[in-house]
Amino acid sequence: MNKKFLSVVVFGALLASSAGTFTSCKDYDDDIDAVNGRIDELAKSLSDLQAKVGSFVKSVTYDPATGKLTVVDGENNSVSYTIGQNLPTYSISVDKEGKISLLKDGEVVSSGTITFPDAPTTPTIPDAFDPSKLTVDAATGKVMYDGKETGVTIPGDGVLSIEDKKNAEGVVIGYTIKYKDQAVTFALNDVLTLKGLVFKSDLFVDGIEAIEYPYLDYTYKAGSTAATTQWEDEQAEKVLCKVITDSKEWNYTGGTGAQYNPIEYINYHLNPSSAKVSKEDLSFVSRDVEVISSRASVALPEVADMKPADEGILPVGLRAIGKDIKQGGEGSILALQAIVKAKSDAQADTTVTSDYALLYASKVTPQAIAFNDATLAAEDCQESANPDELFKTVEGAITHAPTLTVAYNSSIDLKELLTIHYNREGQPEATKNDGTHKVWAYGDEAKYGLKYDFAFIQYTSGQNVTSDSKYADANTIKEGVLTPRIVNSDGETLNEQGVSSVGKRPLVRVRVTDADGRVVLAGFIKIEIAKQVNDIVTDIFNKGTHNFGCDEADAILTWSEISYQLLEKAAVQSKDEFDALYEFDVDDSGVAKQFAKSADGKTFVPAAIAQVIGVVKEKADETGTTNTVLHWTLTNEEQSDIYEMAGHTATIYVRYVSKLNTTSHAPIYMPLKITVAKPQGTVVTKLTNYWYNDGDVAKDGQNTRLNVPYPKDNGNTNDYIVDLNQVWEKGMPTFTPPANFASYTDVIFANQNGAAGGYKYYFDADQNVLTVDGTRYTLSVENATAPCITGGSYKATAQNMIDHALKVDAGVFTNTKLYANGTVIATIDQNTGKITYENNDISKKLLNAYSHSAAKHFAKIGICAYSPCGIAMSLTNNTYNAYFLRPIDAVGTDGGEFVDAHANGSTLDIAKLFNFQDWRNVKFVDGTDYSNSWLYAFYGLNKVEVKIGAATTTLSGGKLGETLLSSKTDKIELTQIDKDGNAVTSATLNLSSYNTEASGTQATYDAIVAAMGKIKYVNNGNNVQTFELRIPVEFTYTWGTVKTTVDCTVKSTMGN
C-alpha cells in the first residue's frame, strides 16, 4: 500500500492565483515506513525541540532539495531533521465553474467542487475566487474553501507546515511549526534585541565627537508703500512702464529676526545590526557642560523622526533649539537612549545608551532667489561661479531685458529654473560645510520650513491699457508655471492661447516664505512671450563635394535654393515679408557669425575660433536680380582641415535673426555642409628593362642601379653622376592624377622642380644601415617629415599625403643630401633629377664593400608630384631603392701554384691571379681576348698591394681565412716584387697611356702584367708536403680600393 506525505510551506502564500503549487514526497514503496517514522518522531518531539532551542531562534527553514528542517537558535546552534527529498509536485487548479482538482506531477489525483458563497451567478476567475480562503485541515488533509469541504483530499497521514508570523509592517517576527495536532512557536526577539548604540561621527571638535546641527537664522520683511511706481524699460526706444499692483505686494523693506529648527538626521550603528528599534522607544539625554555640570541642556534636543535602518545604520531625526546650543567655552552634549522591552512580565525593561557627542551649531541664512542656469542673465551673484540671481526689485526687472522667453503656444515651469542661495556659518568655528552663497536646489528649502510662492505684478507698457501680465494664466502661475494667454476687448484674460500675446512681457513675483507665511526672500522675473523660443533649424544645405586645390572653394546658395525653407520656418508668405522680419546675422565686417551645437546638443552657441570654418557672406546676385545669395568660401588650408574631419565633411551653422527683437522671433539656423575630396595617383611608367628585383632579373621590378659612366677613349670615372629620369618612359615619371582636380594635372606635373607645380626627386626619410669592416654605417637625411599647411608635421606616406596637405618646399621633400655617419655620400640636383655619388673616404669604403652583382649599398629615392601652391599629391609606388654599383670587381683565379724549393724561389704574376670585370660584366681579359685590357687604364688602376702579413694557410691543420701563415712558421717567406725582382710593399701604376680602345692588345696586357709585379714564395726550412695559401691583395683605382684574395697551392718540395 502506498502512503503519501505532504509538506506545505506557507500554504496560503503559495496559492496566490487560480492554481497553486506545493511540494510533497514521491511515492515510496520500500522505505515509506522509515520516512513516516521520522515524521512521527518529529511530531512527538516538537515540544522537545522547543525545550532544546528555547522560545527564541534566528531562523526556521525547510530545504526541499535536501529534505532537511533546520532550526537555528540565538547562539547560532542548529538542530536538523531529515524528512525527505525529491518530493513530487502537487498543484491545485480551480476553473470558473468552481471545479477544483488536485494534480500530482500534472495528473489529476483528486477533484471536487467549490461552492462560492453568495455568488448570484457563476463566478469568473480571479474575481470571485479568493485563494486566501483555501486551507487544509491538518488532521484530515482535506482541502477547504471558506471553511467548507471541496471534495479534494491531500494524500498522507498528516500535514507538516511552517508558517511565518509577521507584524503589522509585514516583517517576520517568528515561526510556527505544525504537525497534526502538535505545534510550536518560535519568536525572533532574541535575535532582534538591541544590545548597543554607537554614534557615527563625521565631525570632531577639539578631538571630541560632534554633531553639526544647522538651524535657520533669517529675517522676514514687510510690504511698504513705494515712492516710485513707474520706470522706462531697456529697449532702444524707451517705453514707460507703470506698475498697477499695490506696492505693498512687491516693495519689501525692514527685517525682523527669527529662527527655524529643522530635523537633522544622525546615524547610529546598531548592535546587532539586525536589531529592531521603534521611534517610540528612543529619546535623547542631554546636558550643558563646562567642566562638570548636571544641568539639562537648554537646546532641548528631541527625537523628531526615525528612518528604517540600512545595513545596521539607523538614521535618527534630531531637532534642537539651534540658537541655544552652547558655544565659546561651554557645550551641549547628548546621547541617544533606547528602551528595550522585556520578553515577559517577569523581566524588567532595559535601557541602551549610546556614547555622548557634542552638539555643534551652524547658522544658515537665506540670501537670494537665483537661477540654476548660467546662461540666464539677471542680477550678478557675488560668487562668480554661481548663476545670476533674480532681480530683487520690480525696478530692476523692468529696466533690464527679459530674462526668459516662452513661446505663445507653450508654457514654462519656473520651478525647474530656481534655486536659493544661502550662507552657512559654523558656531563659533567654521566646518567643511560652511560657505557663502551656497545653493539649495528647488525643494531643499522645505527642510527649513520655507516654501516658494508665485504671483504676477500687473503693469502697463506705453499707451497700452491692459497689463502685460494679463497675457498669462493667473491660476497656473500659483504652481510656478507661466502659461501665455490672450485677452478680450475688455482686457480680461481668456483661457486660450494665440499669437496676439507675442511681444508681451509678464512680470512674475517669486517669494520664499516661512512656516507662518512671512516673506523671507523676494525676486522678480520679466518674461517675454515669443512666437517661437526653441531654435528654428532648417534642413541641411548640402553643397556636395569640392575637389581640393590651390584656389578657394566657393559654395553658393541662391535665394531660390533656400527660400522655401526660410519662408516655411519663419511662417511667412513672401520674401518681402521675410526681409521685413529677418536679417542675416553678421559681424561688423559683414562676415556671417558662425554657431555650433552646445555641449548638450539642445541649443546653439557662438562657434569657438577653432570651430569657425571658412567665410560666409551675403552678396547681391551676380545676375543682377533682386535675389541675394550666400557665398561660403574656403581657403585650401580650410579645405585640408575639412578633409581631416570625419567623413571629410564639415557642417557649420549660420543664422537669420529678427530685425525687430531677437526674443520675439526666434533665430533661424541654417546648417551648411560640404565634403572635400583629395586626389591620389601612382608613379608610372617604368622602362621595365631598367628595373630589377631581388633575383637580379631584368623586369618590371622594384629597384634601379646606379653606375659610373661607360668606357670611352681617354675617358674616366671621376664623376659618378646618374640621371634618375632615365628609368621612365619618355625620360620622366608620370602620375595618373584623377580627373577634375584643376591643381593636379599631367600638364602641371610635367615640370621638373617647377615653380608652379611639377615633380621632383628627394632622399626618403627611411634609409639603409650597413656594417663594413666591423663599423656600422647609418645612412640618414636631414628631414624625416614634411610640414602640413594647417600645422603639424608628418612622414611622407601615401596615407599622410592624402590625409594632410604636406608642403613640398620644406621638410622631407627637400632632402637632397644623403649622409653616412654624418658625411655626405650622395646628392640630388632637384632641377635636373641627377644624383651624384660623392668622392670621399666613407663613400668609397661603402661603394667597394660589395661586388656589383651582390650590391647592398643603396639609397631610397622618393618622388613627389605637387600642385602650383606647393602641396604634394598622394602617390603610391613613389619610393624605390637605387643601388650604387661598384665600378670594377677583381676575383681570384683558380690554379695559381708555387713550387717548393724552386731555384731562386717560386713566383706568380699578380695580374694573372685575378679576373677583372666592370659593372657591365665585361672582362678585362677573357682567355686570349685582350681587346678590353685597356679598361685597366680607363678605371684608373693605380696601385697594387699584397697584404703579406694577412696570408692564411692550411699548413699543419690550419684553415684558410683564419690561420695566419706567420702563426705556423717563420721559414716560409712571401714577398711582393716588381718587374725587376726587387721586393716592394706595393706597386704603383701609371696606365694612362693605354686608355684607348685601340690599346686593347696582348702587348698592353703584358705591360700591365709586368707593371703589377709578382708574388714570390721561398721556403728556408725543411721539405714540405702540398698545402694551400690564401693571399689578400688590394687594388686601388679611381673609386677607392677593391679588397680581394687569391687561393694558391704550394706543391710539395721538388723531388719529394
Q: How would you classify residue 679: left for phi > 0, otherwise alpha for psi between -120 and 50, otherwise beta?
A: beta
**Radius of gyration over alpha carbons of the chain, in Å?**
53
**pLDDT given at position 399:** 95
Q: Decide if 239 contacts 170 (C-beta within 8 A).
A: no
Q: Which of 502, 530, 558 is the last residue of a domain?
A: 530
Per mean pLDDT, which range of 268-272, 384-388, 1038-1042 is the poorest?
A: 268-272
Q: Is residue 1 part of a domain?
A: no
Helix/strand/coil for 316:
strand
The answer on 184 and 264 residing in a single domain is no
Q: Which of 361, 376, 392 is the last residue of a domain?
A: 361
Q: What angle do CA 955, 961, 965 make, to 5 degrees?
A: 40
**pLDDT given at position 484:** 96
Per mean pLDDT, which range of 123-127, 285-289, 675-679, 873-877 is the poorest?
A: 123-127
**What is the distance between the alpha carbons of residues 1042 and 945, in angstroms, rounded to a whole number?**
11
Domain that holds residue 91: 6-192
The answer on 985 and 896 residing in a single domain is yes
Per mean pLDDT, which range of 114-118, 531-535, 785-789, 850-854 is the poorest?
A: 114-118
Query: Is residue 525's pLDDT more than 60?
Result: yes
Per the DSSP assignment, residues forming a β-bridge with 513 are 451, 519
> Mean pLDDT of all residues in the chain?
84
Q: Decide if 404 contacts 376 (C-beta within 8 A).
A: yes
Q: Hey, how many other C-beta atoms are within 10 angstroms of the C-beta on 752? A: 16
Per mean pLDDT, which range of 64-68, 228-232, 353-357 is the poorest?
A: 64-68
What is residue 1053's DSSP assignment?
P
C-alpha cell at 483: 502659461
**What would the mean pLDDT of 947-970 be, rounded to a whole number?**
95
Helix/strand/coil for 401:
coil
Q: Is residue 200 part of a domain?
A: yes
C-alpha cell at 81: 531533521
Task: For residue 529, report the phi and psi dihedrals to the nearest 5 degrees.
Answer: -90, 120
Q: Hey, how many other C-beta atoms are within 10 angstroms of the C-beta on 132? A: 10
**pLDDT given at position 1054:** 65
Query: Is residue 41's pLDDT more than 60?
Result: no
Q: Decide if 470 contacts 458 (C-beta within 8 A).
A: yes
Share of the chain above pLDDT 90, in %: 56
Query: Is residue 151's pLDDT more than 50?
Result: yes
Share of the chain above pLDDT 70, in %: 81
**pLDDT given at position 170:** 56
The pLDDT-based confidence of 150 (bands split at 50, 70, 90) is confident
Q: Decide if 804 contacts 788 (C-beta within 8 A).
A: yes
Q: Decide if 804 contacts 795 (C-beta within 8 A).
A: no
Q: Which of 497, 530, 563 is the last residue of a domain?
A: 530
Per mean pLDDT, which range of 140-144, 328-332, 342-346, 651-655 is the poorest?
A: 342-346
Q: Is residue 397 part of a domain?
A: yes
**pLDDT given at position 923:** 97
Q: What angle do CA 361, 362, 367 make, to 5 degrees?
A: 150
**Pairing mode, if any, of strands 172-179 and 182-187?**
antiparallel
| Residue 795 amino acid letter | K
**Pairing mode, if any, of strands 668-677 and 541-547?**
parallel
Helix/strand/coil for 313:
strand
Count the domains in the chain: 6
Residues 6+ apart with CB under 8 A from 165: 172, 173, 174, 175, 176, 185, 187
Which three-class secondary structure string do you get for 881-899? EEEECCCEEEEECCCEEEE
The answer on 549 and 501 residing in a single domain is no
The pLDDT-based confidence of 277 (bands split at 50, 70, 90) is confident
Per mean pLDDT, which range of 79-93, 409-423, 508-522, 773-787 is the poorest?
A: 79-93
Per mean pLDDT, which range of 551-560, 825-834, 918-927, 984-993 is the poorest?
A: 551-560
Helix/strand/coil for 246:
coil
**pLDDT given at position 912:** 96
Query: Is residue 1045's pLDDT more than 70?
Result: yes
The answer on 807 and 718 residing in a single domain is yes
| pLDDT 10s digits, 411-468 | 999 999 999 999 999 887 777 888 899 999 999 999 999 999 999 999 999 999 999 9
Residues 6+ apart with CB under 8 A from 425: 362, 363, 365, 434
**What would the mean pLDDT of 777-796 be, rounded to a whole number?**
96
pLDDT winner (highest mean) among 74-83, 87-96, 261-270: 261-270
* pLDDT, greater one: 622 or 596: 596
**What is the distance between the alpha carbons of residues 518 and 37, in angstroms, rounded to a whole number?**
79
Q: Which residue has the cell 586645390?
A: 549
Question: If we measure between CA atoms, which residue out of 858, 863, 852 comes closest to residue 890?
Answer: 852
The answer on 438 and 331 residing in a single domain is no
Peptide bond into 688 cis (omega under 30): no
Query: Is residue 20's pLDDT more than 50?
Result: no
**What is the distance between the alpha carbons of residues 677 and 32, in angstroms, rounded to a whole number?**
87
Q: Is residue 753 part of a domain?
A: yes
* pLDDT, greater one: 483 or 904: 483
Q: Is the dihedral of CA 405, 410, 411, 417 positive or negative?
A: negative
**What is the distance between the alpha carbons of residues 256 and 268, in angstroms, rounded to a whole number?**
38
Query: Is residue 153's pLDDT more than 80?
Result: no
The answer on 201 and 129 residing in a single domain is no
**pLDDT given at position 664:** 64
* pLDDT, greater one: 72 or 1023: 1023
**What is the distance between the alpha carbons of residues 22 and 6, in angstroms, rounded to a whole number?**
9
**What would the mean pLDDT of 740-763 be, rounded to a whole number?**
97
Query: Is residue 165's pLDDT more than 90?
Result: no
The residue count for the chain = 1056
Q: Is residue 240 part of a domain?
A: no
* Long-range pairs, 198-203, Cβ under 8 A, ≥24: 198/268, 198/269, 198/271, 198/354, 198/355, 199/266, 199/267, 199/268, 199/269, 199/335, 199/336, 199/354, 199/355, 199/357, 200/266, 200/267, 200/268, 200/269, 200/313, 201/357, 203/360, 203/431
Q: Is residue 374 part of a domain?
A: yes
User: What is the four-CA torsion angle of 49, 53, 58, 61, rounded to 10 degrees?
Assistant: -20
**What is the distance between the alpha carbons of residues 51 and 272, in angstroms, rounded to a whole number?**
25
The answer on 333 and 352 residing in a single domain is yes
What distance separates the 2 farthest-apart alpha carbons in the chain?
Answer: 151
The answer on 545 and 437 residing in a single domain is no
Q: What angle do CA 440, 446, 449 make, to 5 degrees?
A: 120
**pLDDT given at position 116:** 61
**pLDDT given at position 855:** 92
The answer on 386 and 500 residing in a single domain is yes
Question: If we measure between CA atoms, which residue out of 283, 287, 389, 362 comes closest to residue 330?
Answer: 287
The answer on 372 and 348 residing in a single domain is no
Query: Is residue 273's pLDDT more than 90?
Result: no
Per the DSSP assignment, residues forming a β-bridge with 212 are 360
Q: Hey, how many other C-beta atoms are within 10 angstroms of the C-beta on 674? A: 24
Residues 6+ apart with CB under 8 A from 662: none
User: What is the four-CA torsion angle of 658, 662, 668, 674, rounded to 10 degrees?
Assistant: 100
**pLDDT given at position 2:** 29
* pLDDT, greater one: 574 or 913: 913
| pLDDT 10s digits, 961-1013 | 999 999 999 999 999 999 999 999 999 999 999 999 999 999 999 999 999 99
The pLDDT-based confidence of 126 (bands split at 50, 70, 90) is very low
**What is the distance between the alpha carbons of residues 340 and 37, in angstroms, rounded to a whole number?**
43
pTM: 0.58
Residues 6+ apart with CB under 8 A from 125: 18, 94, 95, 96
Q: What is the CATH number of the domain that holds 500?
A: 2.70.50
**What is the distance between the alpha carbons of residues 832 and 827, in angstroms, rounded to a whole number?**
12
| pLDDT 10s digits, 692-735 | 886 544 444 689 999 999 999 999 999 999 999 999 999 999 99
Q: Is residue 252 part of a domain?
A: no
Query: Is residue 641's pLDDT more than 80?
Result: yes
Q: Is residue 254 part of a domain?
A: no
Question: If we measure between CA atoms, which residue out of 111, 129, 107 comes closest to residue 16?
Answer: 129
Upper half-sphere CA count for residue 2 (Cβ side, 13 Å): 7
| pLDDT 10s digits, 469-478 | 999 999 999 9
Burial of 243 (0-12, 13-18, 19+ CB in 10 A): buried
User: Buried b / exposed e across 584-613, counting CB within 10 Å, b at 16+?
Assistant: bbeeeeeebbbbebeeeeeebeebeeeebb
The answer on 857 and 738 residing in a single domain is yes
Question: If we measure between CA atoms, which residue out of 880, 874, 877 comes closest to residue 762?
Answer: 880
Per mean pLDDT, which range of 185-189, 598-602, 677-681, 771-775 is the poorest?
A: 185-189
The answer on 526 and 413 residing in a single domain is yes
The pLDDT-based confidence of 842 (bands split at 50, 70, 90) is very high
The pLDDT-based confidence of 293 (bands split at 50, 70, 90) is very low
